[in-house]
Amino acid sequence: MSILVVGSVAFDSIETSSGAVENCLGGAATHFALAASYFTDVRVIAVVGKDFTEEHEAVFTRRGIDTRGLERADGLSFHWSGSYVKNLNEAQTLETDLNVFQNFDPKIPESYKDSDYLFLANIDPVLQARVRQQMTNVRMVCGDTMNYWISAHAANLAKVLRELDVLLINDGEVRMLAEDQNLVHAASKVLEMGPKTLVVKHGEYGATAFFGKDSFSSGFRALHPFRAPALPLAEVVDPTGAGDSFAGGFYGYLASQPELTPTVFRTAMFYGGVMGSFAVERFGTERLQDVSREEIDERFCLFKEISHLEYERS
């Protein structure tokens, strides 16, 4: 099965307690695509500038990612500069240069229109809705958003939420979207806005899925929330893109399976955590570029071990 991801391909300048890098390859679509490519076929729609070279494109193509949807515009690529020196769990944005991304208007190649799955990364909800309207035959739609779109573009975002099978955002964004500080209540309110399922990212603490009555095919009873762990790491080099890498592992695994069941969904959340844990081990997308499938499956087993309970009645 193939996934079409629409989002940003960017260059990031990052400083953490582990050091600093300038203009490393990043962006939501980049992290997502690389993580998902270990499970299924991936196609990318994004806009890049003249500073995006053949060497940068090779990062995608070496993983078998289809880059025919990359639009090359006259100017520089999206650039973000941030620091995690004060708080590793929250980026301090130092500079944001949208550059060619400011006029991004996603164009779907004809060869992409038979994609089975669609991931709408964190972009303007107007653009997300436009892409969704053109991809009417996909089996599933998963989307992301952020606090800016929630607060300043609520009406447009509401239209997108009604079209999503899965909404994947962090816990702060859930509370903001629902205007409720209790996560369980907030999740219920968000599900009422349209998404069939809500996956809430908790950063270093894992992720929680909340299921609506239409999350799965008829015949499944309503499910309790499901919490997937995160791997305790001795060192986090760069948390940038961890959430997008989680999304790629999660959605990539879903797309690789013939049927969506509660077990498949839960397993996908574990693989999301696995890919997020690899992403933070080095700056940018460096670790995602060279991790092996054997390493991925070994870490998946470790995730199962740290969350397994042997219970014996006394």
Q: What is the mean pLDDT of residues 194-207?
A: 95
Q: Categorize the per-residue pLDDT at 221 as very low, low, confident or very high, splitting at 50, 70 and 90.
A: low
Separation of CA 284 from chain center: 15
* pLDDT band for position 314 (cuts 50, 70, 90): low
DSSP designation for 76: P
Q: Is pLDDT of 84 > 60? A: yes
Q: What is the pLDDT of residue 313?
A: 72
**Which of 97, 40, 46 minimizes the C-alpha distance to 69?**
46
- When pLDDT is cut at 50, 70 and 90, the band that residue 222 belongs to is low
Q: Cα separation of 310 and 70, whole Å?
A: 49
Average pLDDT over residues 167-172: 96
Residue 86: the pLDDT is: 87
Q: What is residue 309's predicted lDDT score, i.e. its pLDDT?
A: 83
Q: Which residues on adjacent β-strands are paired with residue 66?
A: 43
Band of pLDDT at residue 304, cut at 50, 70 and 90: very high
Of all residues in the chain, the percent with pLDDT exceeding 90 is 89
Round the average pLDDT of the chain to a whole number and report it.
94
Reported as a single tens digit per residue, the pLDDT across 10-60 is 999 999 999 999 999 999 999 999 999 999 999 999 999 999 999 999 999
Enumerate the domain spans of the chain: 2-306
Label residues 225-255 b or e (16+ Cβ within 10 Å = b): eeebbbbeeeebbbbbbbbbbbbbbbbbbbb
% pLDDT > 70, the chain: 98
Query: What are 45-54's pLDDT values in tens digits?
Result: 999 999 999 9
Structure-block tokens of residue 262 = 């509660």
Q: How confident is the model over 131-136, as a mean pLDDT? A: 94
CB 106 within 8 A of CB 6: yes
Q: Which residue, among 265, 263, 262, has the nearest Cα to 251 in the 3D structure?
A: 265
pLDDT over threshold 60, residue 140: yes
> Number of C-alpha atoms within 13 angstroms, CB side, residue 210?
21
- The two counts, helices (H) then strands (E), for the chain are 11, 13
Over residues 200-213, mean pLDDT: 94
Residue 219 pLDDT > 90, yes or no?
Answer: no
Q: What are phi and psi of 129, to 5 degrees?
A: -65, -40
Q: Does domain 2-306 have CATH number 3.40.1190.20?
A: yes
DSSP 14: E
pLDDT for 213 equals 86
Per-residue confidence (pLDDT) for residue 9, from 0 to 100: 97
Q: What is the mean pLDDT of residues 288-297?
A: 96
